Amino acid sequence: MLNEVVVLEQEATGVQIPGGNAITLPEGSRIYITQMLGNSITAATDIGLVRISRDEADRLGITPKEEEPSTLPPDASLEDRIWDTLKAIYDPEIPVDIVNLGLVYGVEVITHENGKSHIHILMTLTAPGCGMGPHLMAEAETRALALDGVETVDVEFVWDPPWNQEMMTEEAKMTLGLI
């Protein structure tokens, strides 16, 4: 379905990119799927780019590419598992995950007496005014909370240092044709 036009057979909900506003696409809308990565798809519509969740895409009969299974060993640390799960979150406009894009500045694991952990994720965005920030933040929190041993999560956005292309991994730069 990637790079194909799809005519919606039923109403669909999504998030406008980059504004971050919730929208409803009416039945019969034509969408052009531009990206199927992580837990969502990105589609071009008559009103611009829209991010559609995996659950909504499944409901519509549009199945995003399955996520790559983790290559971490079973005894990987919680911090390594957090970093790994964050690699499954993709920027809706750029086909690179938020870790390789350089948006995640740090992960702190604080283990409580009950053996459960609090996770503090420090991240940024490619631009301070990006309306997708709350959506990326919520996905990071949801994914981290789903891991065994995690009790609470907070995601903090920071703007210092400001993000720039030099923060991307070599892999990300190669994906984007920058090297």
Q: Are residues 117 and 144 in the same domain?
A: yes
If one counts the domains in the chain, the total is 2
Q: Are residues 118 and 39 in the same domain?
A: no
Contact 156, 121 (CB under 8 A): yes
Residue 64: its pLDDT value, please? 64
* Any domain includes 70: no
pLDDT tens-place values along the chain, 179 residues long:
667 899 999 999 999 998 899 999 999 999 999 988 888 889 999 999 999 998 899 899 887 667 677 788 989 999 999 999 999 999 988 889 999 999 999 999 999 999 999 999 999 999 888 888 999 999 999 999 999 999 999 999 999 999 999 999 999 999 999 98
Residue 65: its pLDDT value, please? 66
- Structural domain span for residue 156: 78-175
Q: How far is CA 49 from CA 42, 84, 90, 112, in A?
A: 7, 27, 15, 42
Beta bridge partners of 31: 6
Residue 63: its pLDDT value, please? 76
Residue 156: its pLDDT value, please? 96
* Nearest Cα to Cα of residue 33 among 20, 47, 19, 49: 49
Contact 44, 157 (CB under 8 A): no
CATH code of residue 52? 2.30.30
* Nearest Cα to Cα of residue 147 among 89, 90, 77: 77
Residue 54: its pLDDT value, please? 87
Q: Are residues 37 and 89 in the same domain?
A: no
- How far apart are the C-alpha atoms of 72 and 46, rounded to whole Å? 41
Q: What are phi and psi of 82, to 5 degrees?
A: -65, -50
Residue 120: its pLDDT value, please? 98
CATH code of residue 144? 3.30.300.130
